[in-house]
Amino acid sequence: MSGNSFGTLFSVTTFGESHGPAIGCVIDGCPPGMELSEADIQPDLDRRKPGTSRHVTQRQEADTVKILSGVYEGRTTGTPIALLIQNEDQRSKDYGNIAETFRPGHADYTYWHKYGIRDPRGGGRSSARLTAPVVGAGAVAKKWLKQQYGTEVHGFMSQLGDIVVPFQSFEHVHANPFFAATADADLLSRMEEAMDELRRAGDSIGARIEVVASKVPVGLGQPIYDKLDADIAYAMMGINAVKGVEIGAGFASVAQRGSEHGDELTPHGFLSNHAGGVLGGISTGQDVTVSIAIKPTSSIRTPRRSIDKQGNPQMVETFGRHDPCVGIRATPIAEAMLALVLIDHALMHRAQCGDVRVDTPRIA
């Protein structure tokens, strides 16, 4: 509970600050015998890394991951897998002017009050840069889930500010800079224009991301307090800038009737998925569907009122290199978090009930 580990049986402990020498994590509990190399991990890191389009921060980081332990002759040994990523582009001078002042919407104020000290270089520990090691750990989890059960986790952006982006197909997600699941050129143009306008205005915008896990085994999740959906909510709300989480029908459930919401079953499967793949905290075997709200980036060039450590009023403008929409790079992060929740519950389920029988007669 010291705040830097995620998961119980497949646990990830991260370390590092935005402008320190390196960031990384220790993955404890990865089952032995799985083929693993950096090549399994780097692609997800590349999807998250900065500088891939003009719509994200221009900070240059290769985010090259190195495995320090836990793999022998190309296979996991059951011992901890340490991942290390060197920080390269540490232009700390960019941030010098904010060491004494609390940026609105940032963790500056709370870290300083909590700890009495804070590392102001690039947001220090509170920087979204710290999601990189987790994306690495998520790639390891994804590989195991895929091999073991065929489970896959995919995300996409479904809303950018007030632009709703209907889902067409996962195949489009990597053909545009927004992780939008659409090939609608007009819509994509509107998104590009909105981002360009924001950048000129020195402002930022929120986003909505959806994540879907398919071929999830039936039976993952614990009753009462380690419900699968509760752990998903925890994982998602813990991502920087997330302010809301929905499972299945989410807030739309409020206005639904029971005769509409409750998913009927037939011998051929469920007839709907308002539950989002979770009933009573336990997976149904349907797709697990999650939606998250990401607030607009707090680092903006628009001058804003704040105070300094002494309580004096100050105006704050944040220069430097920032994402005008942190939601854009959130898709691989949300996928990683969902994969980490699923593998933890898969291992837990195996502990309690023995090997998951993937050949269980399933309805979908």
284 is an annotated ligand-binding site residue:
no
Q: Which stretch binds a second copy (CB under 8 A): 51-59, 88-96, 139-147, 201-209?
A: 201-209
DSSP at 101? B
Asked if 86 and 65 touch (Cβ cutoff 8 Å), the reply is no
Among 36, 59, 98, 102, binds a second copy (CB under 8 A): 102
Residue carrying structure tokens 């800038």: 241
Q: Which stretch binds a second copy (CB under 8 A): 12-20, 37-45, 46-54, 181-189?
A: 12-20
Q: In this complex, which beta carbon is closest to a second copy, that of residue 29 or of residue 51?
A: 29
Task: List the interface residues with a second copy, window 263-292 (CB under 8 A).
Answer: 263-267, 271, 274-276, 278-285
* Number of Cβ within a 10 Å radius of residue 82: 19
Rounded to whole angstroms, the Cα distance separating 159 from 165 reads 5
Q: In this complex, which beta carbon is closest to a second copy, that of residue 171 or of residue 257?
A: 257
Q: Which stretch binds a second copy (CB under 8 A): 40-48, 50-58, 172-180, 222-230?
A: 222-230
x-or-dash string of contact with a second copy, 343-362, rule CB under 8 A: -x--xxxxxxxxx----xx-
Asked if 300 and 318 touch (Cβ cutoff 8 Å), the reply is yes
> HSE (CB half, 13 Å, CA atoms) of 278?
29
321 is an annotated ligand-binding site residue:
yes
Rounded to whole angstroms, the Cα distance separating 117 from 127 reads 16
Q: Does 97 bind a second copy (CB under 8 A)?
A: no
Q: Please, what is the minimum distance in Å from the beta carbon of residue 286 to a second copy?
A: 11
Asked if 48 and 131 touch (Cβ cutoff 8 Å), the reply is yes
Report the run of H or E that residue 344 belongs to, with start and end: helix 330-353
Q: What is the dihedral of CA 288, 346, 180, 47, to 10 degrees?
A: 170
Q: Does 245 bind a second copy (CB under 8 A)?
A: yes
Task: List the interface residues with a second copy, window 48-67 (CB under 8 A).
Answer: 66
Rounded to whole angstroms, the Cα distance separating 234 from 333 reads 14
Q: Does 21 bind a second copy (CB under 8 A)?
A: yes
Q: Please, what is the minimum distance in Å from the beta carbon of residue 205 to a second copy?
A: 6
x-or-dash string of contact with a second copy, 306-325, rule CB under 8 A: xx---xxx------------
Q: In this complex, which beta carbon is closest to a second copy, that of residue 17 or of residue 335?
A: 17
Among 38, 52, 104, 190, binds a second copy (CB under 8 A): 104
Q: Determine the 3-state secondary structure of 247 from DSSP.
A: strand
Q: Which of 197, 159, 135 is nearest to 340 (CA)?
A: 135
Q: Does 328 bind a second copy (CB under 8 A)?
A: no
Instruction: Judge residue 238's burial from the number of C-beta atoms within 10 Å of its C-beta, 0-12 exposed, 13-18 middle, 19 or more buried.
Output: middle
Q: In this complex, which beta carbon is closest to a second copy, that of residue 130 or of residue 211?
A: 130
Q: In this complex, which beta carbon is closest to a second copy, that of residue 185 or of residue 190?
A: 190
The single-letter code of the amino acid at 221 is: G
Task: Report how far apart the first and last C-alpha atoms of the chain are (Å, whole number).
Answer: 36
Q: Which of 167, 191, 151, 188 is nearest to 335 (CA)?
A: 151
Task: List the interface residues with a second copy, window 119-178 (CB under 8 A).
Answer: 119, 124-126, 130, 159, 161-162
Among 52, 64, 90, 222, binds a second copy (CB under 8 A): 222
324 is an annotated ligand-binding site residue:
no
Q: Does 230 bind a second copy (CB under 8 A)?
A: yes
Q: Does 23 bind a second copy (CB under 8 A)?
A: yes
Q: Please, what is the minimum distance in Å from the beta carbon of residue 206 to a second copy?
A: 4
Q: Does 246 bind a second copy (CB under 8 A)?
A: yes
Query: What number of chain residues touch a second copy (CB under 8 A)?
Result: 154
Copy the structure tokens of residue 283.
Answer: 């997976």
Q: At 324, phi and psi to the nearest 5?
A: -65, -20
Rounded to whole angstroms, the Cα distance separating 358 from 17 reads 41
Among 218, 328, 334, 339, binds a second copy (CB under 8 A): 218
Copy the structure tokens of residue 106.
Answer: 């940032």
Detail the residues annotated as belonging to a binding site: 48, 54, 125-127, 240-241, 280, 295-299, 321
